[in-house]
Structure 1
Amino acid sequence: MRLILISMLLLISFGVNANEIKPFTSDGCSVFPDGTFAQNELWLACCTAHDYDYWQGGTFKQRLESDKRLKQCVHAVGERYIANIMLVGVRLGGSPNFPTTYRWGYGWPYPRGYQALTSDEIQQIKALQFNGI
């Protein structure tokens, strides 16, 4: 009986904030360097913009577009080879199905998966607008 009660309380607590996004955070390029040895933040701005997309999540198509923008951004700072490696990394490691801090839609409670943002969710994102992007 006690186990059932605890389980029910946990389920209720997960459901209370299920539709609320946490404030934006970025860990830079996650498990990848933020730049070269000579320029240690060379593509950090690219990763921060990419994190902003990943924080809010959305559809599979939106994730693919975000990943392509990351590749283009890193390529634009002169790192074509690194851009291709990063694209492979985010495509493999950024799935919304992984319970990581850098998954697609990481601002929302896990699990979220791929889904279009509702008008209420877009309003929440706008209220927490990150001015550095």
Structure 2
Amino acid sequence: MKKRNYFLFIYIFIALSIFLIKAQAAELKPFTTDGCSSFPDGSLEHKNLWLACCTAHDLAYWQGGTFKQREQADVDLKECVAKVGEKEIAILMLAGVRVGGTALLPTSFRWGYGWPYPKFYGELTAQERMQVENRLAEYANTEQN
């Protein structure tokens, strides 16, 4: 019996070590946005009316973080779209992102989509925050050029 426990311990230790190494080695991909994902970027008259709202929302989703941060990003999207005069669209968009944006699904628009899947809810580590800052600086440079 002791020999079995020893091998179980070794197996768990190796598996946990591999998991921790993989988690620490996760690399944030450069920021990308698909606009409002599967939703129009604006109205028929103004094709990009709320596109900036969706881009800001994508920025929050790309970097990920806690569940509370996701909730705030979704509320910010709703408020931004409402400010451009589309309160009903804002409510519809909020419902869509609350259902479709979960970190649990391996979609291209999930919470934390900049990180390899799975990247669940939680505070970003100091190393992850550094990667976010570096990628944001890269993105700012490409936007200026």
Larger radius of gyration: 2
Unaligned runs of at least 5 residues, structure 2: 1-17
Counterparts of 1:98 and 1:105, CA distance in 2: 11
Q: Which runs of 5+ in 1 are unaligned?
A: 1-10
Paired residue for 1:44?
A: 51
Aligned-pair Cα RMSD in Å = 1.9
Cα deviation for residue 18 of structure 1 reads 4.7
TM-score (norm 1): 0.85
Identity of aligned residues (%): 56
Query: In the TM superposition, what is the alpha-carbon distance from 1:17 to its structure 2 partner?
Result: 8.0
Q: Which residue of 2 aligns with 1:124?
A: 131
Residue of structure 2 aligned with 1:73, choices 62, 80, 87: 80
Structure richer in helix, relative to its length: 2
1:55 partner letter? W
Counterpart in the other structure of 1:98: 105
TM-score (norm 2): 0.78
| Deviation (angstroms), 1:112 | 1.0
Structure 2 letter corresponding to 1:40: K
TM-fit CA distance, 1:72: 0.3
Higher relative contact order (CA closer than 8 Å, sequence separation 6+): 1
**Contact 1:24-1:128 at 8 Å conserved across structures:** yes
Q: What are the Cα deviations for residues 52-106 of structure 1, in whole angstroms up to 9, with x where unaligned?
A: 0000000000000000000000000000000000000000000001110000000
Verify the 8 A CA contact 1:18 1:109 in the aligned structure 2.
no
**1:17 to 1:23, Cα distance in 2 relative to 1, 3 A:** farther
Q: Tell me how many residue pairs correspond in the alignment.
A: 121
Which secondary structure state, in structure 2, belongs to the residue aligned with residue 128 of structure 1? Answer: helix
Letter of the structure 2 residue corresponding to residue 19 of structure 1: A
Question: Would the alpha carbon gap of residues 60 and 108 (structure 1) be closer, same or farther in structure 2, given more than 3 Å must change?
Answer: same
Q: Secondary structure in 1 aligned to 2:124?
A: coil
